[in-house]
Amino acid sequence: MDDDGNGTTGSGLDRLASVNLNLLVPLLALLEERSVTRAAERIGLSQPAMSHALTRMRRLLGDDLVVRQGSGVTLTPRALELLAPLRSALQQTAQIVNFPVFDPAKDHRVVTVAMTNSTAFVVGPRLMRLVAERAPHITLRVRTITVPTEATFTDQGVDVTLISEGHFSPYPRERLYNDRCVVVASPDTPPVASALDLLTTQPHIVVDTDRRVFPYPVLEEKGIPYRVGLWISDFLLVPFLVARANGVALLRHRVAAAMRTLADLRIEEFPFALPGLGIDMVWNPRLADQYFIEWLRALLFDAATQQD
């Protein structure tokens, strides 16, 4: 048993001298990608070199790490335990070795934000202006999604995903802004008609999707009669059809307010209490540049600030 001269045994750190720490980066890539081929491509190794590294990692850790399951592979329980602490350790190491700090004035990267087209309608224009002002060489890319999948969050091209609070995420999330459901109608509807009157007397214009459009189940649970006059696949056509062809629709308030600048809309509060419709940020778990993350996080908060 080793002694450090103070009556205590040496820590596990002393044993790192006998470990090839160069294996840790390919190990993290392998655990995140769950594929030798994709992990090799990610860190610039040949597939044979990555396979050799996997053999050495298995020997070092005394565990298979990845095992075949059907047509794919899965992580062993030991590998799942390693994933989070290994990612954290390598992120801290990257800061210690003092990689160049992100400089928005000089950076030329492509910043990719995934979101629904309704969220893009709310934050997209201001986000684009802020990027142009604060990072003139950066290119903004918006990927529109309908329902996020796990691949959405881990795609190497996506830096951050903006999703409704009702959508599941396997990763930590932070609220970007809160929203609520409102009733939008043509300005030609009777001024004395309440929101409930509009919902029960006007034909509804509804986005045609595979999912039930919230909050129609609430109307059905309360026995509120309504009639769908039009199913439409293009979300952005809804306010124009409401404004110019009459009818009624249910939209997020922030979306309706933004669209009212393009089409004359009457906006009324939804007549029943509803859960929140907040939008959350979920960061790509592979994104390790904390300087960049903090910059983009602040940018998104500024872009989402309600404009008068």
Q: What is the CATH number of domain 17-96?
A: 1.10.10.10
Angstrom distances, CA of residue 54 to CA of 40, 62, 119: 11, 12, 42
User: What is the model's pTM?
Assistant: 0.67
113: phi then psi, degrees, rounded to nearest 5:
-120, 125
Edge-to-edge strand ranges of the sheet holding 279-283: 139-144, 110-115, 160-164, 279-283, 174-177
∠ CA(280), CA(282), CA(287), 5° rounding? 155
Same fold? 111-171+279-304, 181-269: yes
Which architecture, in CATH terms, is 181-269? 3-Layer(aba) Sandwich (3.40)
pLDDT in tens, the chain (308 residues): 444 444 444 556 666 666 777 888 888 888 888 888 888 888 888 888 888 888 888 888 889 988 887 766 788 899 888 888 888 888 777 767 666 678 899 998 899 999 988 899 899 999 999 999 999 999 999 998 888 888 888 876 799 999 998 888 888 899 999 999 999 999 889 999 999 999 999 999 998 877 766 788 899 999 999 999 999 888 888 888 998 888 899 999 998 998 888 888 999 999 998 877 899 999 998 887 888 999 999 999 999 986 53
Q: What is the CATH number of domain 111-171+279-304?
A: 3.40.190.10
Is 278 within 8 Å of 180 (Cβ atoms)?
A: no
Domain boundaries, given as residue ranges, for the chain: 17-96, 111-171+279-304, 181-269
